């Protein structure tokens, strides 16, 4: 008689034995393998069930995991499958091969070991290499397929359920399939609204969305641990230890930025105790090398270089500040003026004008003369409590903002707060404002103090260190001591902190303008400051709660600068994005009827290049502040099909492919032609820094970088200096020549990312002198906007095909654009 209890068969409790397939529950040791990714370690069986691949293959592909281990009771015993020659554990590369005689077989990887010449010399029949994964299953003689009986007793999981549970595991690795059925997991959060009853309702909607985004961010970052990291040690100017190492990015989801906090660990050896320290990223090189400034200088194992581990230290600061701002907005009546409060919530409020004497001229010292639309913007902004300025590409947003801030500061309403979501934008604006002669303090996050900045002399930490008065000599002495010794005695430390705080306060208070990121406005060092006038640049790239942080410090007059026809804030959590977190406050205010003042003269693009964006995105209102002559690249001999029209659409018919991450695409033909175009530019006298290659897909970005450096016809270094980036990361920037690789080319699927008109707008408006677009017109023409772009190029005889040195007009037929229904 069976005493089934110990066998792990405890039906009804929902608990499977440890090695049961996490999809279906089959637990026969001969039929299961364990995913060997440390954060996963789940077991899966080799049965297909109702899906096209076996459960283990399904998991590996969906989770992008690539290593497995056999069960201890399987015929091979507990074995990590790896190449017998090189130890490669990527199961997608492994296969069996007979070692001379059929009775002995080994696992060998197909790249590179199967190509090692010595093997051929040994007379092995390499053509009979037999892949480990065949027909979407593991080799059945290695990992058995569960019997029909076993499969019938198992859970009948569908492909959809597999997708869902894999998605769930990304945030909760211990989740079970039952969790899919639990209420909540699939519930969509409450979506954002146009209007809100009160700030509590506002908070009730946004707080859960911020929480979702924060959880996702945390999960993403904390799963980024890396082992076996090799360190190069250095010492910074401030005498702190700096660790250099390579932290490769796996896919496009996580990018390290200066200021990020990482933990470096060493597990210890005979000569070194275990050690760890936290540090801040102060620099990222083009070769993806990270410079980490360590917090502690004591006990660092600087004579060791190998075997370190790196973890991401997630900080909730920015999310906490958004939540805090929403709370302040709700509970503190003085956080913003009544007008702004009601206006932001979408309540009907009677128009108000700000009573201020207007300046006689609207430009500002140290800035270029303003054009008519810029003057109009400055003038109208100064009279309104809430205004929106829309700055299409190259229209002088920063100069206009600086002029506005200059006049605000001169009105004597107290200090002006200037913010933007990104540090780069804040730095640019701080520099321009400082050029008008105003006293500017750039407040940086503590974690970014060691990050070099173009406006270092404006930063608070720099000014504190260089405030060279005799009363402050005490602070300087202590600072010096701290730099040299790494730390101070506790009484000195106390004294140092108090002196530093007082000095910071003194410097900040004497400034006309404080510049910081939106999140930086929540810095405790500004806790007791009040700002009646606030300008937020790039506000279309911030989420609402992010914009709220600078506002709740007493705003009475607010200026939002941005362009809702370009890309919005990046939201990682799809659920939060679907619920509307990606809609900026600027956009909602537009929907509420606030009319943006548009800057109308662009100074960036050759007039031929601005024509289509102007007509398609800005109702044809964009005027050219540059002439054809000013954008003529003399001495550059590039085969533009129409002279004086430095643009063409280069017809490509190569197929798209899905990239390694499974979430991105690449297109080899386009990449090869990008290289040819780049080479032609370089040969004609264009230098690498003038060229930008843009592509909407990380997969293609990585592929192009690689392809150019391996196959480029000229010196490798030249190609390395060329910036290849996503559309999104080119926002706000420009290059003389832009090459845009569209990638998508398929019969039935959509064009994904390219569908977003805002992304197309950004892509088309980065170039000053010339643009080349590579894409498949047959596919792209289905989308109405792309159809009109293609028609525009065709009408101007700029739709071409054939070799670069002999471009011919293309007769390719467009498809009828599909109507978009919403």
Partner 1 sequence: DDEVHVRQKVAEVDPQEAANFEQELRAVMQESIEQRRQELRGRPMLNMVIPMNLFEGSARDHHGRGVGGDSGDEALDEEAGGSKEVQVKVLVKRGNKQQTKQMYIPRDSSLVQSTKQKEAAEFEE
What is the DSSP track for 499-524? HHHHHHHHHHHH-SEEEEETGGGG-G
Residue 295 CB contacts under 8 Å (≥ 6 apart), including other chains: 277, 278, 279, 280
In the chain, what is the straight-line distance between the N-terminal and C-terminal CA atoms, in Å? 64
Structure tokens at 183: 């209420």
Nearer to partner 1, 103 or 813 (CB): 103
At its nearest, how many Å lie between Zn ion and the CB of residue 225?
A: 15
Any contact of residue 51 with partner 1 (CB under 8 A)? yes
Any contact of residue 96 with partner 1 (CB under 8 A)? yes
| Partner in contact with 117, chosen from Zn ion, partner 1, none, beta carbon below 5 to 8 Å by kind | partner 1
Q: Report whether 654 contacts 668 (CB < 8 A).
A: yes
Q: Based on the number of CB atoms within 10 Å of its own CB, is 327 exposed (0-12), middle (13-18) or buried (19 or more)?
A: middle
| Partner in contact with 23, chosen from Zn ion, partner 1, none, beta carbon below 5 to 8 Å by kind | Zn ion
Window of 45-53, 719-727, 733-741, 806-814 that interacts with partner 1 by CB under 8 A = 45-53
SS3 690: helix
| Partner in contact with 45, chosen from Zn ion, partner 1, none, beta carbon below 5 to 8 Å by kind | Zn ion
Which positions from 638 to 677 touch partner 1 by CB under 8 A, shown as an x/- string?
Answer: -------------------xxxxxx---------------
Which among 785, 664, 786, 772 is positioned nearest to 726, based on CA atoms?
Answer: 664
CA distance 466 to 814: 64
At its nearest, how many Å lie between partner 1 and the CB of residue 524?
A: 45
Instruction: Using CB under 8 A, pick the residue from 8, 14, 112, 268 that binds partner 1.
Output: 112
Any contact of residue 104 with partner 1 (CB under 8 A)? yes
> Rule CB under 5 A: which residues touch Zn ion?
21, 23-24, 26, 35, 37, 40, 45, 55, 63, 65, 83, 85-86, 88, 109, 113
Structure tokens at 469: 């008065």
Which positions from 55 to 94 touch partner 1 by CB under 8 A, shown as an x/- string?
Answer: --xx-xxx-x-x--------xxx-x--x-xxxxx-x-xx-
Q: How far is the CA of 175 from the CAs of 125, 169, 465, in angstroms?
A: 46, 6, 51
At its nearest, how many Å lie between Zn ion and the CB of residue 743?
A: 28
Which among 266, 277, 275 is positioned nearest to 306, based on CA atoms?
Answer: 266
* DSSP summary character for residue 24: T
| Partner in contact with 35, chosen from partner 1, Zn ion, none, beta carbon below 5 to 8 Å by kind | Zn ion
CA distance 411 to 402: 15
Any contact of residue 462 with partner 1 (CB under 8 A)? no
Nearer to Zn ion, 73 or 332 (CB): 73
Structure tokens at 742: 């569209």
Which positions from 117 to 136 touch partner 1 by CB under 8 A, shown as an x/- string?
Answer: xxx-----x-xx-x--x--x
At its nearest, how many Å lie between partner 1 and the CB of residue 119?
A: 6
At its nearest, how many Å lie between partner 1 and the CB of residue 704?
A: 13
Instruction: Using CB under 8 A, pick the residue from 56, 142, 378, 738 that binds partner 1.
Output: 142
Q: Report whether 748 contacts 658 (CB < 8 A).
A: no
Structure tokens at 349: 């409020």
At its nearest, how many Å lie between partner 1 and the CB of residue 755?
A: 19
At its nearest, how many Å lie between partner 1 and the CB of residue 276?
A: 28
Nearer to Zn ion, 21 or 519 (CB): 21
| Partner in contact with 24, chosen from Zn ion, partner 1, none, beta carbon below 5 to 8 Å by kind | Zn ion
Binders of partner 1 among 535-564, rule CB under 8 A? none
Instruction: Using CB under 8 A, pick the residue from 98, 190, 297, 422 that binds partner 1.
Output: 98
Any contact of residue 143 with partner 1 (CB under 8 A)? no
Q: What angle do CA 625, 629, 635 make, to 5 degrees?
A: 135
At its nearest, how many Å lie between partner 1 and the CB of residue 83?
A: 9
At its nearest, how many Å lie between Zn ion and the CB of residue 215?
A: 21
Any contact of residue 171 with partner 1 (CB under 8 A)? no
Nearer to Zn ion, 176 or 755 (CB): 176
Nearer to Zn ion, 85 or 352 (CB): 85
SS3 312: strand
In which order are the strands placed within the sheet that holds 32-35?
43-45, 32-35, 68-70
| Partner in contact with 662, chosen from Zn ion, partner 1, none, beta carbon below 5 to 8 Å by kind | partner 1
Which among 595, 584, 166 is positioned nearest to 389, based on CA atoms?
Answer: 595
Binders of partner 1 among 681-720, rule CB under 8 A? 706
Which among 493, 553, 548, 479 is positioned nearest to 519, based on CA atoms?
Answer: 548
> Phi/psi of residue 243, each to 5°?
-105, 125
CA distance 257 to 246: 14
Residue owning tokens 């509420």: 592
Residue 312 CB contacts under 8 Å (≥ 6 apart), including other chains: 221, 222, 224, 225, 260, 261, 262, 263
β-strand partners of 43 = 34
Q: Applying CB under 8 A, which residues contact partner 1?
A: 48, 50-53, 57-58, 60-62, 64, 66, 75-77, 79, 82, 84-88, 90, 92-93, 96-107, 109-113, 115-119, 125, 127-128, 130, 133, 136, 140-142, 148, 151-152, 156, 159, 657-662, 706
């Amino acid at each position: 008689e069976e005493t089934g209890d110990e066998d792990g068969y405890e039906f009804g409790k929902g608990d499977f034995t440890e090695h049961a397939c996490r999809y279906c529950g089959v637990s026969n040791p001969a039929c299961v393998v364990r995913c060997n990714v440390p954060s996963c370690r789940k077991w899966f069986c080799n049965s297909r069930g109702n899906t096209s691949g076996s459960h283990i293959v399904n998991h590996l592909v969906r989770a992008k995991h690539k290593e497995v281990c056999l069960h201890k009771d399987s015929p091979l015993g507990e074995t990590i499958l790896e190449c017998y020659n090189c130890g490669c554990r990527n199961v997608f590369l492994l296969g069996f091969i007979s070692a001379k005689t059929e009775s002995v077989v080994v696992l060998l990887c197909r790249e590179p070991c199967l190509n090692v010449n010595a093997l051929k010399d040994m007379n092995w029949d390499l053509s009979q290499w037999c892949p480990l994964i065949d027909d979407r299953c593991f080799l059945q003689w290695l990992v058995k397929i569960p019997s029909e009986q076993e499969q019938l007793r198992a859970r009948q999981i569908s492909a959809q359920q597999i997708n869902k549970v894999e998605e769930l595991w990304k945030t909760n690795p211990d989740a079970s399939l039952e969790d899919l059925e639990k209420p909540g997991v699939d519930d969509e959060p409450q979506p954002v609204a146009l209007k809100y009853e009160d700030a509590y309702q506002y908070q009730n909607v946004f707080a859960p969305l911020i929480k979702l985004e924060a959880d996702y961010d945390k999960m993403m970052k904390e799963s980024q641990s890396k082992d076996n990291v090799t360190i190069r040690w250095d010492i910074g100017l401030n005498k702190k230890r700096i660790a250099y190492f390579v932290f490769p990015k796996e896919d496009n989801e996580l990018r390290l930025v200066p200021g990020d906090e990482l933990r470096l660990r060493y597990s210890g050896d005979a000569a070194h105790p275990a050690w760890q320290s936290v540090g801040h990223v102060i620099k990222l090189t083009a070769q993806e090398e990270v410079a980490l400034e360590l917090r502690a200088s004591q006990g660092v194992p600087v004579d060791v270089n190998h075997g370190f581990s790196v973890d991401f230290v997630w900080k909730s600061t920015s999310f906490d500040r958004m939540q805090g701002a929403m709370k302040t907005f709700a509970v503190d009546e003085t956080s913003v003026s009544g007008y702004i409060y009601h206006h932001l919530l979408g309540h009907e409020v009677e128009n108000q004008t700000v009573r201020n004497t207007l300046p006689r001229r609207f430009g500002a010292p140290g800035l270029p003369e303003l054009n008519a639309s810029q003057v109009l913007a400055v003038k109208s902004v100064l009279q309104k409590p809430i205004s929106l300025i829309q700055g299409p590409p190259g229209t002088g947003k920063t100069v206009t903002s600086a002029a506005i801030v200059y006049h605000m500061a001169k009105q004597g309403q107290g200090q002006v707060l200037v913010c933007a979501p990104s540090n780069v934008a804040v730095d640019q604006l701080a520099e321009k404002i400082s050029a008008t002669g105003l006293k500017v303090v750039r407040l940086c996050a503590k974690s970014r103090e060691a990050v070099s900045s173009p406006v270092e002399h404006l930063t608070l930490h720099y000014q504190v260190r260089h405030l060279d008065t005799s009363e402050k000599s005490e602070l300087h002495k202590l600072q010096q001591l701290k730099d040299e010794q790494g730390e101070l005695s506790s009484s000195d430390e106390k004294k140092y902190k108090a002196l530093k705080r007082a000095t910071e306060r003194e410097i900040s208070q004497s400034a006309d303008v404080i510049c910081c990121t939106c999140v930086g406005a929540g810095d405790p060092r500004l806790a007791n400051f009040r700002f009646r006038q606030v300008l937020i640049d790039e506000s279309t790239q911030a989420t609402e709660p992010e914009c709220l942080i600078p506002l709740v410090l007493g705003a009475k007059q607010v200026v939002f600068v941005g362009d809702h026809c370009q890309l919005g804030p990046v939201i990682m959590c799809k659920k939060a994005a679907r619920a509307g977190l990606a809609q900026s406050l600027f956009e909602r205010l537009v929907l509420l009827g606030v009319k943006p003042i548009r800057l109308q003269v662009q100074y960036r693009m050759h007039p031929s290049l601005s024509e289509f964006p102007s007509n398609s995105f800005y109702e044809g209102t964009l005027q050219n502040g540059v002439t054809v002559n000013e954008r003529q690249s003399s001495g550059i001999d590039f085969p533009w099909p129409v002279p004086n029209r430095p643009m063409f659409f280069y017809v490509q018919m190569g197929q798209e492919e899905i990239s390694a991450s499974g979430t991105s695409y690449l297109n080899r033909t386009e990449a090869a032609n990008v290289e040819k175009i780049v080479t032609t530019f370089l040969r004609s006298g264009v230098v690498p820094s003038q060229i930008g290659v843009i592509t909407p897909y990380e997969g293609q970005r990585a592929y192009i970088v690689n392809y150019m450096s391996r196959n480029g016809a000229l010196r490798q270094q030249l190609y390395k200096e060329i910036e290849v980036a996503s559309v999104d990361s080119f926002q706000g920037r420009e290059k003389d020549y832009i090459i845009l690789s569209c990638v998508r080319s398929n019969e039935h699927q959509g064009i994904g990312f390219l569908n977003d008109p805002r992304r197309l707008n950004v892509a088309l408006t980065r170039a000053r002198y010339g643009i080349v677009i590579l894409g498949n017109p047959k596919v792209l023409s289905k989308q109405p906007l792309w159809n009109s772009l293609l028609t525009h190029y065709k009408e101007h005889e700029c739709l071409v095909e054939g070799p670069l040195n002999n471009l011919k007009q293309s007769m390719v037929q467009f498809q009828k654009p599909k109507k978009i229904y919403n």
